[in-house]
Chain A
Amino acid sequence: MEKFPVMLKIENLHVRVAGKEILKGISLTVKPGEVHAIMGPNGAGKSTLGNVLAGRDGYEVTQGTVEYDGRNLLELEPEQRAAAGVFLAFQYPVEIPGVNNTYFLRAALNAQRKQRGEAELDSMQFLKLVREKLAVLQLKDELLHRAVNEGFSGGEKKRNEIFQMALLEPKLAILDETDSGLDIDALKRVADGVNAMRAPDRAFVVITHYQRLLDYIVPDVVHVLADGCIVESGDKSLAHKLEEHGYAWIAQRQMPGQSRAGAV
């Protein structure tokens, strides 16, 4: 099968949430194998971007296009996007009392496989896969026997997201502030889990507020999102500049009439 050189192509994307325009014309191209970091201050629209790519209700696309693997991503249901290989690691993973974690994961994986026309895994095959992935993330298998995220610590929830990602093996993984609320050890473990999954045919969009995560998950491209627009793109050194100068620096650079060169 012919490979698309571009995995994700966002063009001039405008998104409205509850009547308010949050994304104001974003363009972004992600190729297989790349890691893109989206940085920006609170309220810039980072999570909106993650949610709209995963297909959450209530996010109204008023302009622009999103192409994924040569298809119009925006016309797919969330579950179809998942089956097509899109994965969103939630900033706030949802607790689901009464739904066993293992049961949920197997149901999810098999639902995806079914949609792709692949054979479903029986419980033995599934367990084998689970054990492989658990080892990578150093997760306690006790978490598997509990209800989805119920009573998990912040770090456990985030690692559970990465564990789900490892199990579902998406082509495009969007990590929405997966680093928030993590101590340095948990952060390293999450980053290890992500790095273990880096592959030539897989891309990552890493949404973060802080540069710290990007010391461990080294991005190919860094974008700065401010007030619904990408205001700056560059290599990983951009993240360090941001850390040094703060987001106010970006705000300045955005100001009309200001000399771009003068700000550096």
Chain B
Amino acid sequence: MSATLLEEFGTGNAREREESWRYSKTALRALSQQDFVAADAQAVLCVPLRAQFEWPQTAGRRLVFVNGAYSQTHSDVSRLGSALTIDHTANQHLKLTIAAGLEGPVHLVYANVPVAAPSRWQATSEIRLQGGSVQIIEQHIGEAGADVLGTLTSDIAIGGHAVLHVASLSDLPDSVSLYRRTQADVASAAGCDCTHAIVGGRLQRFDIGVALDGAQARFDSHGAFALRGRQHADVHLDVRHVARDTACDIVWRGVADQRSRGIFHGAITVAAGADGADAQLSNKNLLLSPHAEIDTQPVLEIYADEVKAAHGATVGQLDERTLFYLRSRGLPLEDARRLLIGAFCRSVFTGLTEAFLRERIEALLDARVSSEGGGA
């Protein structure tokens, strides 16, 4: 079934598909050579896996999907109230309609559970935010074992003056691959504020498309990936400023150790007539091993006249002078490295107001940059 995944996942014509997947083609081809069976939607989640998402802060506000399918057993939505309408009647499709007045976060958990053979699941979600300000937490976890390939396509619409906060934490075993494709449309004076942490996984591809359709619409995306082993993460942002006075602020960090590979592609288009747009993109990366690779590509296309735009991308190593400073104060090399890598990633999450989320994200990244197994 060679090349079929590229055909399936890619959009546009053959050349555009190739271009969009150029750094992940090999990883995708390797996946394509496997024969997948359908994943088990009835799988029972083991206790350690459940412990990863059973947070006290989201009790009664949790929707759990096992291999893409909604799980009545593991979900608990008792505290979500009437402002949220959940429709999961269609197989592996979720529709969330949120009216103003929903309090507290909504926790979506996608659990990957392997069967004996390589398996696949595909799911879609639709989120409609009509008003107010809502926090959605999207978590991806998995059990180690045979390969699992999940595909999640999300379609988000944020109504006028509403603000959607999304925090996604993806922490996958090296046998799980995940392709997430999110499209968000943001209406006038509305905001989409996203925070992402990506660790682990065999292949994690994350496409984020955003259309700032209404005047004064705003998109914020702060994220980091931390990779090691042969992990592979590929993040693609495609932000379109369509209406006037729209703003985006994209700040991503990448860390790659050992033989891992990270890709960041950040494209911002300011359409003709979208005057007053403010587009900011910053992507900084740390390479911790001569065998790791990071490719970063900021792309800014401007067709409007009055635009404020800035972008910058760097790939570097840990600063020798800073490491020496820390060591001269008594910190062993490994501790000094860990401290600097942690700080490098953390800097994008300082704006996160929920302390428990920030702590979870920091813990997630810290665990992945710890010295165990981390090559110098």
Contact = CB atoms under 8 A, between A and B. Distances in A.
Interface of A: 54-58, 77-79, 81-83, 87-88, 90, 93-94, 96-99, 104-105, 107-109, 111-112, 115, 147, 164, 168
B320 to A, nearest CB: 7
Contact of A164 (B321, B322, B329, B331): B329
B324 A57 contact: yes
B343 A54 contact: no
Interface stretch (B9-17, B18-26, B228-236, B332-340): B332-340
A77 B343 contact: no
B329 A94 contact: no
B303 interface: no
B179 interface: no
Given A78-B324, A96-B343, A98-B346, A83 B329 contact: no
B344 interface: yes
Contact of B330 (A57, A93, A109): A109
Contact of B339 (A56, A58, A107, A115): A107
Interface in B274-330: 319-322, 324-330
B33 interface: no
21 contacts: A55-B324, A55-B328, A56-B324, A56-B328, A78-B327, A79-B328, A79-B330, A79-B336, A82-B328, A82-B329, A90-B325, A90-B328, A94-B325, A96-B322, A97-B343, A98-B346, A104-B326, A108-B330, A108-B331, A112-B330, A164-B329
A99 B327 contact: no
A111 B332 contact: yes
Contact of B329 (A56, A57, A98, A108): A108
B347 interface: yes
A79 B332 contact: yes
A108 B325 CA distance: 11
Interface residues of B, number: 23
B331 A77 contact: no
Nearest to A90: B325
A78 B346 CA distance: 26
Contacts of A54: 324, 328
A88 B329 CA distance: 8
Contacts of A57: 320, 324
Contacts of B336: 79
Contact of A111 (B325, B330, B340, B346): B330
Nearest to B343: A98
Contacts of B322: 94, 96
A78 B347 contact: no
Contacts of A83: 330
Nearest to A164: B329
Contacts of A58: 320
